[in-house]
Amino acid sequence: MTARIIDGKAFAAGLRTRIAADVAALKQARGIVPGLTVVLVGDDPASQVYVRNKGVQTREAGMQSDEIRLPATTSQAELLAVVTRLNADPAVHGILVQFPVPKQIDPDAVIMAIDPAKDVDGLHPVNVGRLALGQEGFVSCTPQGCLMLLKDVLGDLSGADALVIGRSGLVGRPMANLLIRENCTVTVAHSKSRDLPSVTRRADIVVAAVGRPEMVRGDWLKPGATVIDVGMNRIALPDGKTRLIGDVAYAEAVEVAGAITPVPGGVGPMTIACLLRNTLIAATPK
């Protein structure tokens, strides 16, 4: 059996087109232009690339995109003052502080300072709590994108055995809560889990969010399982170049799984598309 390849790039492009149409309609009907402000502290090269991509795609969707770049020496108080100002600005509907922040700044204090109604990253404890309680709120973008892909492939997820490998606040935990909301039977594995291959073999759905290149092997999978690979691991090649690979051994898994996301081109493009979706929701009058 060869798995169906889940084309996240195409799905995300379609989602962005639908968002752009809704943005145009909101502008015409209510005169509202959704605005996203990204705050970048320091000069981490990977963050610069992410922020640039976010800006391009936000503008392409017809939204207002602003970037605030602060030096690596910025104090926590200075960053919190910027966040407070953005909270009060009616033209700003979504605020995203790009992590990681320099070590003198406590990321939790920054997240706490963001108005939950503008927390388009879905990281504020109010939004995390709403998700955990099954209530409406902003959901972290990457797991939201994973769920969209899963529903596109499988339709109704009710009753499926779902395994989430990883329990981070950014991916694993919100993913597990989303799958509970979809009536899956959810297992969450982490670095202390015992006999992960056996646990994985029971799962109809496997979401791998670990950060370990090709950790999940093909013979760990139940035949026909749907595999969502969140991992983005940049590995060095002998010729000095680098390559992005996932947490799943793709060449093996594709022979066993029913459907699988590639890396790149699977989950990655969904994250920014879901950020745009959250910003549109934040800008739409309730």
Active site residues: 54, 98, 121
Candidates 80-88, 130-138, 252-260, 264-272: pick the segment binding ligand NAP (CB under 6 A).
264-272
Query: How does DSSP assign 188-223, residue by residue?
Result: EE-TT-S-HHHHHHT-SEEEE-S--TT-B-GGGSPT
* Angle between helix 268-283 and helix 141-154 axes, rounded to 10 deg: 110
Q: Establish if 76 lies at the interface with ligand NAP (CB under 6 A).
A: no
Length of the chain: 286
Q: Establish if 193 lies at the interface with ligand NAP (CB under 6 A).
A: yes
Smallest gap from residue 252 Cβ to ligand NAP (A): 17
Angle (CA) 16-32-128 rounded to 5° is 60
Smallest gap from residue 46 Cβ to ligand NAP (A): 10
* DSSP label of 42: S
C-alpha dihedral sign at 108, 244, 173, 272 = positive
Q: Establish if 139 lies at the interface with ligand NAP (CB under 6 A).
A: no
Candidates 13-21, 114-122, 188-196, 275-283: pick the segment binding ligand NAP (CB under 6 A).
188-196
Phi, psi of 193 (to 5 degrees): -65, 145
Candidates 10-18, 118-126, 176-184, 186-194: pick the segment binding ligand NAP (CB under 6 A).
186-194
Give the up-direction half-sphere exposure of residue 269: CA atoms within 13 A in the CB hemisphere.
19
Candidates 74-82, 104-112, 120-128, 170-178: pick the segment binding ligand NAP (CB under 6 A).
170-178
Q: Establish if 170 lies at the interface with ligand NAP (CB under 6 A).
A: yes
**Calpha distance 26→23 (Å, rounded):** 5
The answer to whether 248 and 227 have CB atoms below 8 angstroms apart is yes
Near ligand NAP by CB under 6 A: residue from 57, 58, 65, 142: 142
Whether a cis peptide bond, with omega within 30° of 0, leads into 262 is: no
Near ligand NAP by CB under 6 A: residue from 209, 221, 275, 282: 209
Near ligand NAP by CB under 6 A: residue from 48, 64, 76, 168: 168
Q: Establish if 189 lies at the interface with ligand NAP (CB under 6 A).
A: yes
Given the rule CB under 6 A, which residues bind ligand NAP? 142, 165-168, 170-172, 189-193, 196, 209-212, 230-233, 267-268, 271
